[in-house]
Structure 1
């Protein structure tokens, strides 16, 4: 079972690198799409990065209800710790 803090750290690290976002812009309550300025192609990149980093598959339906970074962390945690 992967610890929440490890998941958050890994997610933040690749978001900073892949999406060139400043670390101080990433906050649990911040809006994921707006903060990262995501379009549909960016979501593909995000899914590929998650799969490469955590070895889990994400599909479009997984993102339903994912608004904040905390929602995103929770999604990854659920997938990783199945």
Structure 2
């Protein structure tokens, strides 16, 4: 079983690798759109990467309410659970 910290580390790595976000800007309360400049196209790319990471199908409606890095961690944790 993967724990929340491991999920957080993996998501942080994806954000850094995929979107070249400064690791110092990534924290659980960081807003994807306002703080990290993730737009709707980037969000689709993020979901594709998370699908690769989890090996599970991700429903777009599961990510409609995602606003912060912690929200992403919570949703991904549900996929592993």
TM-score (norm 2): 0.88
1:19 is matched with: 19
Structure 2, unaligned runs of 5 or more: none
**Does the CA-based 8 Å contact 2:30-2:36 persist in structure 1?**
no
Q: What displacement does 1:64 show?
A: 2.4
Which structure carries more helix by proportion?
1
2:58 is matched with: 58
**Does the CA-based 8 Å contact 1:19-1:36 persist in structure 2?**
no
> What pairs with 1:1-80 in structure 2 (closer than 5 Å)?
1-80=1-80
**Does the CA-based 8 Å contact 1:14-1:49 persist in structure 2?**
yes
Structure 1, unaligned runs of 5 or more: none
Consecutive aligned runs of 4 or more in structure 1 exceeding 4 Å deviation: none
**Does the CA-based 8 Å contact 1:8-1:73 persist in structure 2?**
yes
Alignment RMSD, CA only? 1.3
Q: Distance in 2 between matches of 1:33 and 1:58?
A: 20
